[in-house]
A and B are shown apart, each in its own frame.
Chain A
């Protein structure tokens, strides 16, 4: 531990350095320079001489450290004085040659993929409401992808989720919903999670379909959760994402794992609900943005949660699809071509 003495000493030296810098900046002629030299280096009352006097008061073990500090100051003063002398002697500076209006340096910083960017934007809204983020496997079993979600074997509802199979029982998950099951199996309510991830469908690539895309699903399970809460939370989310003024509509739909189920539409941003020929909304003025509903009691039974005690809601949306709508991107395939001219634009987001 340096003694208080040494610390005061260091502070004094720092103060001298500041003084030296301030005064140097004002030197305009040799006379002022001589005065400055005298002030700092005079044998009799120069600051350095005073410091060397003070050195004697230090204990022997601190003397070398204190001495080094004084030496460093002395060197700095001398360098500074020499530089000032050179400056005063120097002939008038020639006019600068460099054109200061030339462009500055460019430093390139990488950018996140737009899907990731949009995913985080969505995640952050839910994180602010106390949701956690989880994920599960992309290669799933038939049980988690379908059966546990209340799709009986041989039910035509499975046709709506055109599936890529690996074996009879293994498939590429067609939605992020199996993660709901996995989470509810290991975690007791209250549950509040969002589940982003890749999903797969047997869709031939075209501007609005790809065999792999991104979904984000949300799940809330607790006592006393109602459809009114589903509406409240999703409206809050959509207004954060698309702005306070956006019009939102909930309408009945069907998903095997929710009952009642709701499709959520927002007003078409492309035409403002004004163009009967609009390609984005088909002239309806509404754009389907997510599917949702109250968790089906059978799903709760499948994970040993008592549907009489707990209720919950879930929703799912396509991250890439929603980003397409939000930014007016016409072709989903752009996301996976990875053209850097496309990706880098989103740095400005």
Chain B
């Protein structure tokens, strides 16, 4: 809100240097900055709040300053020069919808010499950043910016009177606005109409047909109060924003409506206008001022400081409230109509705090008692990230928005959540997978000279799921290019599928989610024969693989890129293995390496499960130490060497027991997968 310092001085004596005034305004919640200097005036830009329409005019700001400086407002008088005729003889105002228009005041001014405004008025209008138009229009704007009460001037000769109706629009009615825009009206909208048709959209904008022109002599001035929600709905529906609507939708001072009409009429008398007697004031259900009980004790309970009853009374009275003390420490406070924001005791306490000074409220560190922490995913997420950092993955965070075209090309298999009012068509849905962002980041970094890009993101993916919008916390991982920078000791290795898989395995193992099961499964993200499905305790939780060529093309990334996506929501819904301390072994273990000839189509995962299933009591651990296919091996076979560690925690293992276990393994693998022990493949 633009505020002219000179204009303020019409209402209140300030007597402070500008800098100090601005600092003190800040400390009562009005942040103002100097916007421009004009002739002998300074124009401020004051930040106002949605709940304080009273500060949308100079009078309101002056009230705040008056209370702040304890300086009373100056009186202003608005003399009229009366005509013998009564206003009601010229216009017959009838409110047909009292809910949408609780009060309507009007006054007729005849014989105005329409023309350019005098200098004093032009200056004021220009200070508000507007162009002066003519004295009638300028007076309307003057009243609005002075008092925050919007008024409207109709050309009396263009009203098909005498009836002026405040009614809902009829279906099919239209209006050409002051701005020359034709709008279609609907019965949800309130209009000011004459006998024939709507003349103005109540509280929003006037119509062209009834507007004042250079030829206008007689005007009908409207000063009314309209329902804020209705004005807001109407101006949104019609996409019209005006200074009037801005104020009405925040709430106008219902007690001030007649005064604004008088003020305008009085100003018009300066241009030869004569004012009809007895202005119209239709106010079918006059409102009583709100009354709020304020307890002195409660002020201290909320603010943590005793401000003193005298301070309370003085402050509220300075702000225009009326206080009736019922008993010690309890007041009945009457709220002035211009403070539409004050409804409860808490609102009054805020007023007291503002003028007491937030800086004078003590700084007290509360004596916090111990509370039991609320469990959350925070620790698991932190640990998961740690595991990935160790594998050299950097964390990224992408915007949750996605381009619907790209999203459909990703083929996540989920239907995306669409945004009804997106900022751009390229960001009009929410991502259904983290993969798109990761590929975009890979391309971005590649284009800036970074060859190795190993990244992960933890965040939500979103989808429509059975008529509900679902969001699931997910982990996305991708790896491409060399694992490190060139070094004199040797070239860095290129990443591969197993770097990705190893990182995933380690991170999950770290959270004690084991065993994780990997099985071959096709997935649209990945090359046909290059992807695995991941599950834990029978619950599918994600997939990993080599990113499909079509996606590399889509994101302009040179392959290969390996990527994974896990649904953390599903994973975390499962119980992780509890942590258990295992004492160090007291007895030596026995290590046996076995080499097998295995059919090429037999996955290691199957062999692993088969061995696990045997439940051998002394088999401590086993893993793959060699994997080979080629020369000296039949074409349809591969050689797989496994190392087994056997240990009996309670005694030294006897060789025969180890032999027996070894035979069991060989036998079961033989029958399940036709696996053979290679010649010389056993070792003891």
Binding site for B on A (CB under 8 A): 2, 64-65, 68, 102-103, 105-113, 115-116, 120, 123, 129-130, 132-135, 137-139, 153-157, 159-160, 164-167, 170, 172, 187, 190, 192-193, 198, 200, 202-205, 210-212, 220, 224-229, 231-233, 235-236, 249-254, 256, 259-262, 282, 284, 294, 296-298, 311, 335-341, 343-344
Q: Would A68 and B588 count as touching, CB distance under 8 A?
A: yes
Supply 4 further A-B pairs (C-beta < 8 A) apart from A211-B401, A260-B350, A282-B33: A210-B399, A225-B366, A227-B303, A236-B365
Given contacts A138-B460, A341-B448, contact A103 B396 (CB under 8 A): no
Instruction: Render B322-358 as a binary contact track against A, CB cut-off 8 A, 1 for contact.
Output: 0000000000000000000000111101100110001
Question: Which residues in B have their C-beta under 8 angstroms from that of A134?
Answer: 374, 376
Q: Which residue of A lies closest to B23 (CB)?
A: A284
- B681 close to A (CB within 8 Å): no
Alpha-carbon separation in the docked complex, A153 to B233 (Å): 10
7 contacts between A and B (CB under 8 A): A65-B587, A110-B392, A155-B229, A164-B422, A170-B469, A260-B354, A262-B358
Question: Which residues in A have their C-beta under 8 angstroms from that of B366?
Answer: 220, 225, 229, 232-233
Question: Which residues in B have their C-beta under 8 angstroms from that of A225?
Answer: 366
Query: For chain B, which range describes its interface: under 10, 10 to 19, 20 to 34, or 35 or more residues?
Result: 35 or more
Residue from the list A226, A261, A340 in contact with B453, Cβ < 8 A: A340
Alpha-carbon separation in the docked complex, A231 to B359 (Å): 9
Q: Closest approach, in angstroms, between the C-beta of A262 and any C-beta of chain B?
A: 6
Beta-carbon contacts under 8 Å, B582-621 to A: 586-588
Q: Would A338 and B397 count as touching, CB distance under 8 A?
A: yes
Q: Would A229 and B418 count as touching, CB distance under 8 A?
A: no
Question: Which residues in B have their C-beta under 8 angstroms from that of A167?
Answer: 420
Alpha-carbon separation in the docked complex, A141 to B450 (Å): 42
Q: Would B346 and A166 count as touching, CB distance under 8 A?
A: no
Alpha-carbon separation in the docked complex, A338 to B454 (Å): 12
Q: Would B364 and A231 count as touching, CB distance under 8 A?
A: yes
Beta-carbon contacts under 8 Å, B370-428 to A: 370-371, 373-374, 376-378, 382, 385, 388-401, 417-423, 427
Q: Among the interface residues B302, B303, B441, which one has the most CB atoms of the partner chain A within 10 A?
A: B302
- B94 close to A (CB within 8 Å): no
Question: Which residues in B have their C-beta under 8 angstroms from that of A193?
Answer: 374
Residue from the list B26, B397, B400, B587 in contact with A251, Cβ < 8 A: B26
Q: Closest approach, in angstroms, between the C-beta of A251 and any C-beta of chain B?
A: 6
Question: Which residues in B have their C-beta under 8 angstroms from that of A294?
Answer: 302, 346
Alpha-carbon separation in the docked complex, A132 to B378 (Å): 10
Residue from the list A113, A224, A228, A297 in contact with B361, Cβ < 8 A: A228
Question: Which residues in B have their C-beta under 8 angstroms from that of A187?
Answer: 374
Q: Would B421 and A226 count as touching, CB distance under 8 A?
A: no
Residue from the list A106, A113, A139, A156 in contact with B469, Cβ < 8 A: A139
Question: Which residues in A have their C-beta under 8 angstroms from that of B382?
Answer: 120
- B368 close to A (CB within 8 Å): yes
Residue from the list A105, A108, A154 in contact with B489, Cβ < 8 A: A105
Question: Which residues in A have their C-beta under 8 angstroms from that of B373?
Answer: 130, 132
- B2 close to A (CB within 8 Å): no
Question: Which residues in B have their C-beta under 8 angstroms from that of A227?
Answer: 302-305, 353, 361
A-B contact count (CB 8 A): 244
Question: Which residues in B have their C-beta under 8 angstroms from that of A109?
Answer: 389-390, 392
Q: Closest approach, in angstroms, between the C-beta of A38 and any C-beta of chain B?
A: 31
Alpha-carbon separation in the docked complex, A109 to B366 (Å): 41
- B562 close to A (CB within 8 Å): no
Alpha-carbon separation in the docked complex, A254 to B346 (Å): 13
Question: Which residues in B have their C-beta under 8 angstroms from that of A337?
Answer: 444
Q: Would B485 and A311 count as touching, CB distance under 8 A?
A: no
Q: Would A166 and B418 count as touching, CB distance under 8 A?
A: yes
Question: Which residues in A have their C-beta under 8 angstroms from that of B310?
Answer: none
Q: Would A336 and B51 count as touching, CB distance under 8 A?
A: no
Q: Closest approach, in angstroms, between the C-beta of B500 and any C-beta of chain A?
A: 13
Given contacts A64-B652, A113-B397, A211-B399, contact A339 B444 (CB under 8 A): yes
- B116 close to A (CB within 8 Å): no
- B363 close to A (CB within 8 Å): yes
Q: Closest approach, in angstroms, between the C-beta of B316 and any C-beta of chain A?
A: 15
- B50 close to A (CB within 8 Å): yes
Q: Which residue of A lies closest to B651 (CB)?
A: A61
Q: Would B358 and A252 count as touching, CB distance under 8 A?
A: yes
Alpha-carbon separation in the docked complex, A224 to B420 (Å): 44
Q: Would A254 and B29 count as touching, CB distance under 8 A?
A: yes
Q: Would A190 and B371 count as touching, CB distance under 8 A?
A: yes
Q: Would B488 and A102 count as touching, CB distance under 8 A?
A: yes
Question: Which residues in A have their C-beta under 8 angstroms from that of B349?
Answer: 259-260
Q: Would B488 and A132 count as touching, CB distance under 8 A?
A: no
Given contacts A164-B421, A339-B445, A340-B445, contact A130 B371 (CB under 8 A): yes
Q: Would A231 and B49 count as touching, CB distance under 8 A?
A: no
Question: Which residues in A have their C-beta under 8 angstroms from that of B399?
Answer: 210-212, 336
Given contacts A132-B374, A166-B419, contact A157 B358 (CB under 8 A): no
Residue from the list B51, B344, B370 in contact with A254, Cβ < 8 A: B51
Alpha-carbon separation in the docked complex, A190 to B370 (Å): 10
Given contacts A192-B371, A231-B362, contact A338 B396 (CB under 8 A): yes
Q: Would B304 and A108 count as touching, CB distance under 8 A?
A: no
Question: Which residues in A have their C-beta under 8 angstroms from that of B28?
Answer: 252
Alpha-carbon separation in the docked complex, A109 to B386 (Å): 10
Q: Would B364 and A110 count as touching, CB distance under 8 A?
A: no
Question: Which residues in B have their C-beta under 8 angstroms from that of A236?
Answer: 365
Beta-carbon contacts under 8 Å, B130-186 to A: none
Question: Which residues in B have their C-beta under 8 angstroms from that of A110?
Answer: 388-395, 454, 456
- B548 close to A (CB within 8 Å): no
Alpha-carbon separation in the docked complex, A341 to B394 (Å): 11
Given contacts A156-B249, A165-B421, A338-B441, contact A130 B370 (CB under 8 A): yes
Q: Would B395 and A343 count as touching, CB distance under 8 A?
A: yes
Question: Which residues in B have their C-beta under 8 angstroms from that of A235?
Answer: 363
Q: Would B371 and A132 count as touching, CB distance under 8 A?
A: yes
Q: Among the interface residues A226, A298, A336, which one has the most CB atoms of the partner chain B within 10 A?
A: A226
Q: Would B358 and A204 count as touching, CB distance under 8 A?
A: no
Beta-carbon contacts under 8 Å, B220-248 to A: 228-229, 232-233
Q: Which residue of B lies closest to A283 (CB)?
A: B33
Q: Would B397 and A165 count as touching, CB distance under 8 A?
A: no
Question: Which residues in A have their C-beta under 8 angstroms from that of B419?
Answer: 164-166, 172
- B369 close to A (CB within 8 Å): yes
Residue from the list B346, B377, B394, B441 in contact with A111, Cβ < 8 A: B394
Q: Among the interface residues B345, B349, B361, which one has the most CB atoms of the partner chain A within 10 A?
A: B361
Q: Would A311 and B302 count as touching, CB distance under 8 A?
A: yes
- B281 close to A (CB within 8 Å): no
Q: Among the interface residues A65, A111, A167, A254, which one has the most CB atoms of the partner chain B within 10 A?
A: A254
Q: Would A157 and B50 count as touching, CB distance under 8 A?
A: yes
Beta-carbon contacts under 8 Å, B32-91 to A: 33, 49-52
Given contacts A112-B385, A132-B376, A192-B371, contact A228 B423 (CB under 8 A): no
Q: Would A154 and B368 count as touching, CB distance under 8 A?
A: no
- B455 close to A (CB within 8 Å): yes
Q: Would B361 and A231 count as touching, CB distance under 8 A?
A: yes
Q: Which residue of A lies closest to B458 (CB)?
A: A116
Given contacts A111-B394, A226-B364, A337-B444, contact A254 B471 (CB under 8 A): no
Q: Would A228 and B363 count as touching, CB distance under 8 A?
A: yes
Q: Which residue of B lies closest to A254 (CB)?
A: B49
Q: Would A116 and B397 count as touching, CB distance under 8 A?
A: yes
Q: Would A344 and B394 count as touching, CB distance under 8 A?
A: yes
Q: Would A113 and B396 count as touching, CB distance under 8 A?
A: yes
Residue from the list A232, A250, A335 in contact with B397, Cβ < 8 A: A335
Given contacts A138-B400, A294-B302, contact A338 B376 (CB under 8 A): no
Residue from the list A64, A190, A249 in contact with B359, Cβ < 8 A: A249
Q: Closest approach, in angstroms, between the C-beta of A259 and any C-beta of chain B?
A: 4
Q: Would A261 and B395 count as touching, CB distance under 8 A?
A: no
Q: Closest approach, in angstroms, between the C-beta of A157 and any C-beta of chain B?
A: 4
- B320 close to A (CB within 8 Å): no
Instruction: Render B421-450 as a binary contact track against A, CB cut-off 8 A, 1 for contact.
Output: 111000100100000000001001100101
Given contacts A110-B391, A156-B249, contact A339 B448 (CB under 8 A): yes
Instruction: Render B495-512 as a binary contact track against A, CB cut-off 8 A, 1 for contact.
Output: 000000000000000000
